[in-house]
Amino acid sequence: MISVAEANNIIAQNIPPRKNQILPLKEASGYTTAEDIYSKYDIPNFSQSSMDGYAIRFEDKDLKLKIVGEMSAGTTEQFHLKNGTACRIFTGAPLPIGANTVIMQEKVTIEDKEYLIIQDNDLEKGTNVRDAGSDAKKNSIAISKDSYLSAAAIGYLAGIGCSEVNVYSPPSVSLILTGNELIKPGNNLDFGQVFESNSYQLESVLKQCGINTIKSFWVQDNPLEVEDTLDMALSKTDIVILVGGVSVGDYDFVIDTTEKCGVEKQFHKIKQKPGKPFYFGTKEEKLIFGLPGNPSSALTCFYLYIAPLFSTLMKRPAITSNTNAVTTSKYQKKTGLTHFLKSTFIDGKVTPLHAQESYRLQSFAEANCLMILPENSEGCEKDEVVELILLK
């Protein structure tokens, strides 16, 4: 067996090159830019009013100004504002040529329906004016390479006229679930049967990681069937995740099957609990993971090793993060394995949950973190500072 740190290092050494693709802007939310994005225009491309009011020449602010004309948003015709005049203007409208300031309509008096008297002693030149190019300069970088495309970023790119973006591609993923005992939720549960839950939780967390192409296969505990399915999955997808059959029982033949399919084993078994039988292999640029069948073990291994891989490949924000917290209770363990305890983190304190067994998901459903107890530790005392992995 290898350590948790060694496992992470081996996976990091085998990460394939990133791929990228051009996506329509409306489909790019949640991706990360693979190149700098330049603005083709000054945005706004004209001096624009940010307020309903009156456009003036600042040097005329102390005069009684004759109101001439009106500018509304969407106006494409332009005119010159002469000395001693003002123009009615609305939010988003272009300023007349010569105007450089907008006075709020609440800070003026209108005399005889055609003259404007300004009542704002604090008025400054350029007030309520959005200068041309103030949001983006023509030919300048609007959004840098490796930027995450949030809703606001998508809106900003649309606002500068961008219609498509070059982003890092998510890898395609196959899930292969093994087990004669599994049945789908919604059926009647007979003696000896177990509801299949791994595909549900793993597809959910894969989508959370930004993976859109997921192929799921459910096979019996039959070596030939597993081999055929693995061969097909390797030919069609970038990453294969096998679930179940990675231990050492008579029906645990997944590791032998990967060898028959030309997969090079990088490691099998990690000094951790849960998830000790975790497997990792490679075939050219394809990555193959073997998760234990117990749902809690499978999900823990995914958070520890596979989720960070997707974050690296796609340069997306991670769905986990590390922090420290103070324990609320004592917890004992033997040395030799790193323990990852399903726990709750509230206000800087962490509490291990009941039901830490690898087959039990109820406590995992309550957990918002995993408490880390290192390989060489014998547990923790109450009020001890420990490291956590926060789950989003």
Q: What is the CATH number of the domain that holds 98?
A: 2.170.190.11
**215 and 253 both lie in a single domain:** yes
Domain span at 338 = 320-391
List, in sequence order, every residue forming a beta bridge with 32; answer none if it has no partner. 148
* The pLDDT value given to residue 248: 60
Assess if residue 291 is contained within a domain. yes
**206 and 280 both lie in a single domain:** yes
Assess if residue 156 is contained within a domain. yes
Assess if residue 138 is contained within a domain. no
**357 and 286 both lie in a single domain:** no
- Element containing residue 169 per DSSP (H, E): none
Q: pLDDT tens digits for 249-282?
A: 555 678 889 999 999 999 999 999 999 999 999 9
Assess if residue 195 is contained within a domain. yes
pLDDT average, residue stretch 71-77: 92
pLDDT average, residue stretch 99-117: 95
- Element containing residue 103 per DSSP (H, E): strand 101-104
Q: Cβ distance 304 to 340 under 8 Å? A: yes
Angle at 33 between CA 27 and CA 36, to 5 degrees: 130
Q: pLDDT tens digits for 229-239?
A: 999 999 999 99
**330 and 263 both lie in a single domain:** no
Assess if residue 136 is contained within a domain. no
Contacts of 372 (CB under 8 A, 6+ apart): 338, 339, 340, 386, 387, 388, 389
* The pLDDT value given to residue 355: 83
